[in-house]
Amino acid sequence: MRKQSKAKSNLLLIARIIFGLVFLFSGFVKAVDPLGTAYKISDYLEAFSLTSLDFLALPAALMLIAAEFTIGFNILFNVHLKATTWVASLFMLVMTPVTLYLAISNPISDCGCFGDAIVMTNWQTFYKNIVLCIILAIIALLQKQSRPWLSNWGAWVVTLLPILISFAISIYCYNLLPILDFRPYKKGNNIIEGMQIPEDAPLDKYETTFFYEKDGIEQAFTLDNYPAEDSTWTFVRQESKLIEQGYVPPIHDFSIVTEDGDITDLILEDAGYTLLVISHKVEKAATKNIKCVKSTIANAKKAGANVIWLTSSYSDEIEEFKTQYGIEDTFGATDDITLKTIVRSNPGLVLIKDATVIEKWHHNALPSKDKLNQLIN
């Protein structure tokens, strides 16, 4: 009996460690990039035709981060194990069917479960959730094998710790920049290298179906059996279906288009410094620090850097923004999602040289004139 009880206790401990660490990690990588988590929730809302609730994306992101961090912490350290197991069960009861729907319909390519740290397909996410459900079931069945090490009052006090930590990290990273950057545009990365496809990289695989008609009857054929040399069949149409996606480079949608045309290569191949002032939507830009942004731009120009604003806004919105804030710099058009990925700030500043990201700044923490001179000269 003792051996059986010890085996159950060890199994419970292993299950708690695995489940707790997964949820802690998931909450942490979301906490260091709360705006990215909010963007992902917005994608979910769009997939379920709930865009009217988009204003709740950021509050929902903060609540999700706190929930995952707290569930992981409590299960790992055996705090309120019974109650937390029930909460975790409800969480998985909701998320597992959601991930199954996403896997089948595929409206979003990446669930965002682990932020940008680990990118998983929707099917991988669903299978991961099935494994977590099994582990959680083990915890639920064996939780009596674990004895609380804190009083009820002490457990409630300790539960506040992960909540406070998650909110502190989230708020800090929201008001500045992520303390850990897992995206392809992080400091030190080269944009051109991120766009390259290896020679031996797998290509997209398609299945092509040919439709021919004969005697008023339409029939489908494959590449192996279509009647290319049979004149009695009349070609109607062909359809191609992607059956296996090939290699997708980390950076695959970066481009800059101005009134003069596509200047992407001109910017990336410039041996000098270029300051990219990024505002994915100028009409949504935080303007409380716009004077500081303009001052930083002026300092960068004096130091010898080129400056260009990047946005996905329409031309009339750009002109209204320029007129309102007295901005005379060149504006280039770039994909909205790309701009959100480059820097988690609107506006945000990115200094590049030879296509390499030298430094990035949030509009709440712009560099001094001396700092810019040190970087550029």
Tell me what the mean pLDDT of segment 185-198 comes to: 94
Query: Which residues partner with 240 through β-bridges?
Result: 208
- Residue 1 has a pLDDT of 55
How does DSSP classify residue 344?
Answer: S
Under 8 Å between Cβ of 80 and 150: no
Q: Which of 75, 76, 65 is nearest to 40 (CA)?
A: 65
Give 242's contacts (C-beta < 8 A, 6+ positions apart): 204, 205, 206
Tens of pLDDT, residues 259-310: 989 999 999 999 899 999 999 999 999 999 999 999 999 999 999 999 999 9
Tell the burial category of 149 from Cβ atoms under 10 Å away from its Cβ (0-12, 13-18, 19+).
Answer: exposed
Tell me what the mean pLDDT of segment 14-43 comes to: 95
For residue 54, give both structure tokens: 């988009």
Give the domains, in start order, of the chain with CATH numbers. 2-175 (no CATH), 205-244 (no CATH), 257-376 (3.40.30.10)
| Residue 296 neighbours by CB distance under 10 Å | 23
For residue 220, give both structure tokens: 């489908």
Q: Can you state the angle between helices 369-376 and 290-302, rounded to 10 degrees?
A: 40
Tens of pLDDT, residues 217-270: 899 998 888 887 888 888 898 998 888 888 889 998 999 999 989 999 999 999
Ramachandran region of residue 351, left (φ > 0), alpha (ψ -120 to 50) or beta? beta
Cis peptide before 184 (omega within 30 of 0): no
The answer, yes or no, to whether residue 117 has pLDDT greater than 70, is yes
Tens of pLDDT, residues 333-349: 999 999 999 999 999 99
The reported pTM is 0.86
Query: Which residues partner with 234 through β-bridges?
Result: 213
For residue 264, give both structure tokens: 């992407």
